[in-house]
Amino acid sequence: MTIADKQLQTREIITKAVCGKGRKFSTVSHTVTPPHRPTSILGAWVINNQYEAVRSGDGIEVVGTYDINIWYSYNRNSQTDVAKETVSYVENIPLSYVDPKHRASTEEVAAEATQEPNCIEANISSSGASVVVRVEREFAVEMIAETKVCVAVIPGGCDDIESKDSFDYDDGDSGFDDLDGDLLDDEL
């Protein structure tokens, strides 16, 4: 029996769904001034990344902090020390997709660091008194809200279904016959 053999009924239901998504990669520079004038940089790393997501205008803001640690030598490479500075950041991530029919009063937002903040370069500044640190980071965000979806309703309810194979949704040529299965993405 095809779905066209029965009179098609639909219902609108309200459900929570992902109604907006976004992603942003960025590289930023921070200047850290150690207590001693550095001679050379021995290492630099970013730790303790903490953040939260908040809705802001047409996007989602990721507001957070992380610690930058710089291991450096001073006094003509005769002594070493570690300079630590906590940095605050705000990353505005635009939503590349937004469901126009979502209920704004039910919005919830979430963020995930798809690439934790990482030091990619640390150099002594031209003045020689501070260290310029380049950090890269990437966030993916989602907005979850209530929205309406349309579903097909089977007259007679679920008891009216003889088997899952009793419905034929084929509307003719599917166009998938020419696809090469080897080219399909493994993640699907």
Distance between CA atoms of residues 25 and 27, nearest Å = 7
Take residue 76 and report the two structure tokens written for it: 């003509």
What pTM was estimated for this model as a whole? 0.75
Q: Per residue in 71-124, pLDDT tens?
A: 999 999 999 999 999 999 999 999 988 998 899 999 999 999 999 999 999 999
Distance between CA atoms of residues 47 and 53, nearest Å = 19
φ, ψ at 133 (rounded to 5°)? -115, 125
Average pLDDT score, the chain:
87
Nearest to 32 by CA among 101, 116, 129: 129
Take residue 99 and report the two structure tokens written for it: 């469901």
Task: Taking the CA atoms of 152, 153, 154 and 157 in sequence, report the sign of the dihedral they define.
Answer: positive
